[in-house]
Structures are given as C-alpha cells and as structure tokens.
Structure 1
C-alpha cells in the first residue's frame, strides 16, 4: 500500500512538472499576442498600429499584424478578425501598419499581436492600440512592453504570449526569439527569426505510409472473415474467427465515431461523447503520439483533419488489443453467425444510408452546383485541385444525375436478397468517389476509403463465387444470403416498422431536406437584386482615369450573385467580398467588408439596361466607374452546349 501511495505521488509530481514546461511544436508560422478585456454598450472602432519589416530571401516569407475579437458566451464564437492575409508585410524597410476594426456589446476580449511565416528575420516595434470613446475620439490603451524594451531572455517575450491567446505557453522550434538593436522606437525591437522551414515542416513524417498500412490490415481482415476456408458450415476456421473479431470491433467503432449523420438522430446521441473526444483526442496526440503540433481543429467540411486520423488510429489500436484479448479469452465459440448478422446489418445501413444522402444532393445538383461567376472568372491555374473537380463535376446536370442515381442505388444494401448486386454497384461507385478524393485532394479520403473497405467486407462472402463465374467456365451455385436469427412475430413486425421508417426518412425527408437546402445554398438560393457580373470599362479616381492594369486600386469586375453579397475583383488579382444592402429606390448600395464595419462605404449607382455606372467616396478618394453586364451565357464553358455531330474536336 505504501508503494502504491508513493507511486501515485510520483505520477502527480511528474504531471505537475510537465504542466509547467513549455511545449515545443513544429510548423511554418509563429504568432505572439496580448489581450485586453472590453466592455462597451455600442459599436466602437479600434485601431492597432505597429512598425514591422522583413529581411528574407524566401519568396513565401511574410509577416503581419493581427487582431481578433472574442465574443461573450452565447453571442457567437468570434467577432472582428483580421490577420492582414490580403495585404501581407514583405518590405525590408521599417513602416507603420494599421488594422482597423470594431467591438460591440457582444465583445468580451480583444486579442492582438504579430504573426510570421516561413524563413527570414521578422522585426516588430512600437505597438499602439486606440479605442473610440463616446465622443468618437480615439483614446490610447496601455500595452505592456509595447516597444519591447524589456530584453528578451530564454525565448520569452516579457508581457507577451507566444500563440494566439493567453494560455499554456508553447514555442515553435523553427523560430527563435530575441531582442534586436535595429529598432524604430527606443533601444530594442522584437526579432523573430524563422529557419529550416520547408514544405514538410509541421507534417508528420511517414504518415502516408502508416495510413496505407492500417488500410491494408483492415482490408486483409475484411477479406479473411469469409474467404478463409471453414471446417464446416457451423465451424469457422481460426483465421476467420480472428479476422471477424478485429472487423467487428473496428467497423463498429468507426461507425460510432465517424457516423456523419448516417444513422437517424445519432448526432444527438453522440453530442456529449463527442465533446469528451474533443478533449481526449488532443491529449492523445500530444502526450501519446507526440505530434509536432496541437490538435485544435475538429471535423468540419474536412473529414481528413488530424483529429479524424487520430480517432482512426485509436479505433485501430483498440481493435487490435480487443482482438488479442478476445482470442485469448474465447476458446469455445466455433462461429459468430449472430454477431456477423448484426455487424453486416450495421455496415449495410451505414454504407447504404451514407451514399443515399450523397446521392440525393447530387440528383438535385446541390453538392456540385453549376459554376459560379467566381469560378468562371478564375483562371484554371489559380484553382485548387478540389476546386477544379467541383467545376468539372458541377458543369453538367446530366452527370450529376448519373452519379446521384448510382449512389442512391446503394439502398439495395438495405435488403439481404439484393446485397450482392447492391455491393457490386456500390463498390464501383465508392471506388470512383475515392479516386476523385485522392487524386483531386478532396478532404474526404478517410470516409470514402472506409466505404470501399466496408463494401468489400460485405461482398467478401461471395467474392470467390463471383471470380469463378467471371473468370472460369465452371458453374456456380446461387449467391449466398446472410442468415437472419430467428425472432418471434412481434420482433419481426417491429423490425419491419423500423426498416420502413428508416427508408421513408432517408428517401423522403432526405430528398425534402436536400430541396430545402438548395433554396438556401444551391441554385435556388435568393439572388442579388443586381444579379450579374459587371465588367469595369472606366475607373476614375479623383479625376484621374486609371489605365495602368497593374494598379492595385483599379477594379476589374463587380460580381453580384448571392443575395446580400458582392465581390470586387481588382486588376492585381485581389478579391474583396462585401456584405451589401441594396436600395433600388434611391439607387444606393451599403458595402460592409467582412472584416468589420469600420471600412464601410456607400456606393451610388444608376442602371440602364446592361450598363451600370457608380460613384462613391472612400478614404478621401472620390471614385467614378462605368460597367457592362456579363451573363453566364457569355462564357464558353456555359454557352458551348451539347452537339450530336461535331466534324472536328472543339478542345479549347
């Protein structure tokens, strides 16, 4: 007992020591910050001003100031945010830079600081913060060690935090921190130097090979469950028993932790377990796997986050351990026919319902909508592989319908008699989806790979017969049907009712929900009152017509597409999105940048047919412009159409 007591004390002591150490991570960017509490009753403007410069030969190197407003609980996670990503600092001369933003009654905390990317020397000095008072006058707010006159020791900036918030300290190993005599104000400035950074920085070495290894193990066990020769109908081989034990644990865990809405109401059931996983998985990544960075991003539009892969690794590890323990403990069972039935039922419904959902959003062309003006104006070379895939797939309504019907046919998996036929169709469909995800870098690789693995698991019981039928002249008996355990009449009726409900919900409500979503996000969503793309033909600033196509202020197009939004495309390829309030009676448009209301302005316009002229005053500049409207039919991709007869290829 005394030894146990001493062991517990030793563990607690080691944890307390580790809690005081600075965590070292690896990545290609490093921020530093301070924050202040804010409490205002109305909208107030603020300004963050600082001097900065960059000395580097790395073309990707850049720096910037940043500011973020955190809201009170229940008021949305975040308010204003700007990290100068659209105007990064690359000059090697000391210059003053400013971020302007707003706080309001929902604001709780204002975070601010600097951020550095890639290799180089990044200098910062003389941070200043001003917040508007009730009279509209900017008042200075005290910043501790604003000019970095407190000399830096042990890679620690006095009064500042490394990171984007005040919390447990960490250090990015690729960046060193020191005081520099090259200053703009006072004796010292802050110098952050990045070195040894490459495209692989921050990545997990060998992660691709490890993921493929896990997939191969899962594939082998999936096939072994029913491919391994059995001693008799009621006695499975040892390899089949072991393979099933692994498949049972792994697939059920995956279905539970990566359900993705496949099962009705399952998201509600998993709400609190997911909250626990959001705390546990980052701990596993940090303390068990020793990842080079902290896990702070969870499943979102991407299903291939570090969080998702650590979950998969955990499920794999648990499955391996469970298989070993199960094999050592269970010496009596000769088969797992009942468990096999329930596992295949879970897998059939997971794969079937998942692909029905994806199929329905393709049938109505919601997942891959027709190319927007944004895509039509974007040069091919500037799109991501995923963006190119979305444009390719979204171009054709017919191809969307074809893909959608093929995926909806996965519903055949829900019936045992059509399982083999449905699995063959589903395997081809899922393989195509997986190929697109892998070769166009769509972040749904993990899910699509498991849909393929699960379909192979379902088909494995008949793979041998199918190969004999396809590749030999031998005759085969009929394909097998999974035997269902015998239930009494009331249970059979209950199961039929549940199945009918699931099918009705998946097809009926699923289709209804997809149609409703199309009215919000798809082609039926409300369009702007000035819908269309307007090409700038004249742009006059303070009486001077801007003709230099390299000018950073010259507008190229105005794009009104979704209701309440407009995008301005400049000649220098910069894109700025604004929220809009269009007054068609007084011919005025209120434009508010996404980054806050402090940079809002009013644009006056007159519209005559396809001509739209405008004028506005912004930052003391008076601007006049003329435009010509473009429709989607003005683009070759849209107006080319379909031709039965083509005397020559039209590949442009």
Structure 2
C-alpha cells in the first residue's frame, strides 16, 4: 500500500516537473523568436569594450543576431512541445540537456547571477527525467547503437487532445501577449542621438561631451529608460510618451542639474518645460548605422 502511494506521489511530481519545464521553455522561446529578450541598451553600446561587464558583453553578443535568437527560441519551443508526449519526451530531454547545460555555463562564466538558480533547476529536472531512460540510452549509444525494444507509450485519446489544446493555447497566447508588449516599443524613436542644441528660456546652454560617446548624447531605450550624456556625466531616468506628450524623470548622479522634462516630442526635438519651471528646447540628430548599429537593428 505504501509502495503504491509513494509511486503515485512520485508520478505526480514527475508530471509537475514535465509541465513546469514545458511551460518555462515555451515562455522563454517566444521572446527570443520576437527578438525581445537580448535587447541591448543604446547607451551601453557606447561603453568601451574594456569597461564592459561580463554580463553586458555576453548580452550584446547574443543581441547582435536575430537569426541566432530565432534558432535558440525554436529549440526551446520544440522542447516545450515535445516533452509533454511520451513518444517524443526523450528527444525533448536530450535537446534540453544540451540547451540547459550551455546556458548554465554561460550564466556562471558571464556572472549572470540572477538566472543561475533558474537554469540550475531546469538542468536538474532534465537530468532527473533522463534517468528513467538510462538503460535505453546505454543500450542505444554503447551496446547496440540503437533502441530495438518496443515499449507501450500509448496515451488516452482525451489526454492527447488536451495536450494538443495546450500546445496550441500557450504558444499562441503567449505569442500574442509578447507581441502586444513589443508593439509598445517605438523602434523608430528608440535609439541613440547626438545632442545638437539645449536651450532654457530661449538661452542656449553650453555643454560638453558626457560619460558615453564622443559627443553629447541622448539615449531613448526600449524599456522606457532615458539617458542624457553631457558634461562628463550620464543622467539616467525614465520616460513615457502619450499622444506625442513626452514626460521624463531623472535621477541626477551628483547634482540637481536636471530633474524632469515635460513637452512635445518629434524625431528631432523636445519642446516643453524643464524642472517644472523653465522653457526648454532640445534638438538632436539620430546616429546612422556606422556610428550605432543598434539604431537599425530592430527597425528593419
């Protein structure tokens, strides 16, 4: 009796692990397919190579190629779909072993600490699930070069229909959700800009180059982060755009030079109010591909 109960408990845990891995793989696959996960911040692309952290270096490397993101995303999507069926579970687990082991090493070697615990769990689940096939794998790879013994892998028709519904609903539903997030990115406006003019109350403000870039720079990021690189500093904050009304709030690095900006925005200027009291006009020019490849990477 106790053995039967333990067997049922272990089977429930096994099924939960399978579905957990399936859902996670699908939900990580969709952002890669939509080229959303490895987005590089524009101001970070102006950091000299020697000053890049390991994390920034790896992230920018992966973010440079859409086709590589598409390949990894399709592999993860394949794992998420194949793992829920008995017939294809072993294929999914073998692919998962390679993918998870690769990501595990990358996260350790490039100091991506926030993701290590997640990929460790995925890798552990994959290895534990593979243990069920250890004898067949040994026979396939070591003894015979192929599995010749047939086993019963049939499933109830109703269960298969539910699984087919699942692989339709989750990938499609999550794709629609991720696409709706992506549509909030204004990739024609997001980018790196050279600062051309900064006026307060119709008086031109003199400024020098900032922390990043060879010229004074304005950075508008896809995650609604804004960066103003002037006077040997980088002023970072957050912005929003609603019906061409631009609002930005900054966190000054060492002084109170800039706190907020509110006004109208175009692809070349911002006109409005500076620090709640002064009229401001900021003119800027978008960098071409030769100066910042990110400005065209996500717009084509």
Q: Is contact 1:412-1:419 (8 Å) kept?
A: yes
Structural mapping, 1:427-442, within 5 Å: 427-442=97-112
Structure 1 residues 455 and 538, CA gap change in structure 2 (3 angstroms): same
Establish whether residue 514 from structure 1 lines up as the match of residue 171 from structure 2: no
Q: Which has the larger radius of gyration?
A: 1
Q: Can you give the 5+ residue segments of structure 2 that lack an aligned partner in the other structure?
A: 253-257
Q: Is contact 1:615-1:625 (8 Å) kept?
A: no
Q: 1:391 aligns with which of 49, 56, 60?
A: 60
Q: Is contact 2:235-2:251 (8 Å) kept?
A: no
CA distances 1:281-316 after superposition (whole Å, capped 9, x unpaired): xxxxxxxxxxxxxxxxxxxxxxxxxxxxxxxxxxxx
Establish whether residue 470 from structure 1 lines up as the match of residue 141 from structure 2: yes
Give the strand-richer structure, 1 or 2. Answer: 1
Structure 1 residues 441 and 496, CA gap change in structure 2 (3 angstroms): same
- 1:364 Cα offset (Å): 1.4
Q: Is contact 1:362-1:404 (8 Å) kept?
A: yes
Establish whether residue 634 from structure 1 lines up as the match of residue 296 from structure 2: no
CA distances 1:473-515 after superposition (whole Å, capped 9, x unpaired): 677543756687xxxxxxx454344323322222221222222
Structure 1 residues 503 and 473, CA gap change in structure 2 (3 angstroms): closer
- 1:620 Cα offset (Å): 9.7
- 1:582 Cα offset (Å): 8.6
**Whole-Å separation in 2 of the counterparts to 1:345 and 1:582:** 46
The size of the alignment, in residue pairs, is 287
Q: 1:445 aligns with which of 112, 116, 138?
A: 116
Establish whether residue 573 from structure 1 lines up as the match of residue 230 from structure 2: no
- 1:345 Cα offset (Å): 2.5
Q: 1:461 aligns with which of 113, 128, 132?
A: 132
**Whole-Å separation in 2 of the counterparts to 1:604 and 1:356:** 40
Structure 1 residues 498 and 611, CA gap change in structure 2 (3 angstroms): closer
**Whole-Å separation in 1 of the counterparts to 2:23 and 2:240:** 39
**Whole-Å separation in 1 of the counterparts to 2:205 and 2:168:** 65
- 1:397 Cα offset (Å): 0.7
- 1:543 Cα offset (Å): 6.9
**Whole-Å separation in 1 of the counterparts to 2:240 and 2:295:** 27
Tell me the equivalent position of 1:24. Answer: none
CA distances 1:141-176 after superposition (whole Å, capped 9, x unpaired): xxxxxxxxxxxxxxxxxxxxxxxxxxxxxxxxxxxx
**Whole-Å separation in 2 of the counterparts to 1:422 and 1:368:** 24
Tell me the equivalent position of 2:17. Answer: 347
Structure 1 residues 420 and 613, CA gap change in structure 2 (3 angstroms): closer
Q: Is contact 2:191-2:294 (8 Å) kept?
A: no
- 1:405 Cα offset (Å): 0.9
CA distances 1:122-154 after superposition (whole Å, capped 9, x unpaired): xxxxxxxxxxxxxxxxxxxxxxxxxxxxxxxxx
Q: Is contact 1:373-1:632 (8 Å) kept?
A: no
**Whole-Å separation in 1 of the counterparts to 2:237 and 2:216:** 14
- 1:360 Cα offset (Å): 1.8
Which secondary structure state, in structure 1, belongs to the residue aligned with residue 37 of structure 2? coil
- 1:436 Cα offset (Å): 2.3
- 1:382 Cα offset (Å): 4.3
TM-score under structure 1 length normalisation:
0.37
**Whole-Å separation in 1 of the counterparts to 2:12 and 2:272:** 68
Which secondary structure state, in structure 1, belongs to the residue aligned with residue 233 of structure 2? coil
Structure 1 residues 404 and 612, CA gap change in structure 2 (3 angstroms): same
Q: Is contact 2:210-2:216 (8 Å) kept?
A: no
Q: Is contact 1:536-1:627 (8 Å) kept?
A: yes
CA distances 1:327-385 after superposition (whole Å, capped 9, x unpaired): xxx8x63896555544432222221221122112211112223x342332333344443
Q: Is contact 1:341-1:482 (8 Å) kept?
A: no
- 1:519 Cα offset (Å): 1.7
Tell me the equivalent position of 2:194. Answer: 535
**Whole-Å separation in 2 of the counterparts to 1:469 and 1:593:** 61
**Whole-Å separation in 1 of the counterparts to 2:4 and 2:263:** 78
Tell me the equivalent position of 1:333. Answer: 3
Q: Is contact 1:393-1:399 (8 Å) kept?
A: yes
Structure 1 residues 582 and 381, CA gap change in structure 2 (3 angstroms): farther
Q: Is contact 2:288-2:295 (8 Å) kept?
A: no
- 1:615 Cα offset (Å): 9.9
Establish whether residue 526 from structure 1 lines up as the match of residue 186 from structure 2: yes
Give the helix-richer structure, 1 or 2. Answer: 2
Structural mapping, 1:43-122, within 5 Å: none
- 1:557 Cα offset (Å): 0.8
**Whole-Å separation in 1 of the counterparts to 2:205 and 2:159:** 77
TM-score under structure 2 length normalisation:
0.73
**Whole-Å separation in 2 of the counterparts to 1:526 and 1:474:** 53
Larger relative CO (CA 8 A, sep 6+): 1 or 2? 2
Structure 1 residues 616 and 350, CA gap change in structure 2 (3 angstroms): closer
- 1:394 Cα offset (Å): 1.5
Tell me the equivalent position of 2:45. Answer: 376
**Whole-Å separation in 2 of the counterparts to 1:462 and 1:434:** 23
